Amino acid sequence: MSHLHFWSVEHIAYCCVNVDVGCDVLPAAGKCHSPDALTDWSPWADTCNKCGGGVKTRHRRFAADYRHCEISSRSRRMDFVDTMPCHEASMEEFVSQWSGWGACSVTCDDGYRERVRQMRPLAIECHLEFPLKETMPCSRPSCRFRT
């Protein structure tokens, strides 16, 4: 008895061009959406940029017994690639916290106060630049009244 009446047009076309499959094997017709039809997900490919950004990907495909499903129009609705955004780098990964504000630069009249922070090795490796010093004005009593 022939199994041709159980096969889809896609399978017949597939087995005729792929002689190693052979048309004497009845495919798991209609089972292309079975949990067994797909392989497990591959490990995540680490394509993240350590300076921040990028996308991780992983793949899967039809299991060996379900290769005939690859030509099915249903396979176009299957998820074979999964993506996940990589972490966005935070400022703390590139520079230290600001120091406290220093004392006023003068003992009388107008001067400035400053605070600083340090560049972390990752910022240097990523060729990034950040302001490392901030100043703000400060005022002391006038020097004219000093004796």
pLDDT tens by residue, 77-86: 567 888 888 8
Mean pLDDT of the chain: 79
Q: Identify the architecture of domain 91-145 in CATH.
A: Single Sheet (2.20)
Residues 27, 68: Cα–Cα separation, whole Å: 7
In order of 76, 105, 119, 129, 132, the CA distances from 135 in angstroms are 60, 10, 18, 18, 10
Cβ atoms of residues 121 and 146 within 8 Å? no
pLDDT at 104 over 90: yes
Counting Cα atoms < 13 Å in the Cβ hemisphere of 49 gives 10
Cβ atoms of residues 33 and 74 within 8 Å? yes
pLDDT in tens, 36-66: 888 888 998 878 888 888 889 999 888 888 7
pLDDT at 11 over 50: yes
Among 108, 147, 112, 111, smallest CA distance to 133 is for 112
What are the φ and ψ backbone dihedral angles of 100, each rounded to 5 degrees? -70, 160
pLDDT in tens, 84-100: 888 888 889 999 999 99
Q: Quote the tokens at residue 78.
A: 């299957």
Cβ atoms of residues 61 and 80 within 8 Å? yes
Q: Domain limits of the chain?
A: 4-85, 91-145
Cβ atoms of residues 114 and 133 within 8 Å? yes
Residues 61, 70: Cα–Cα separation, whole Å: 9
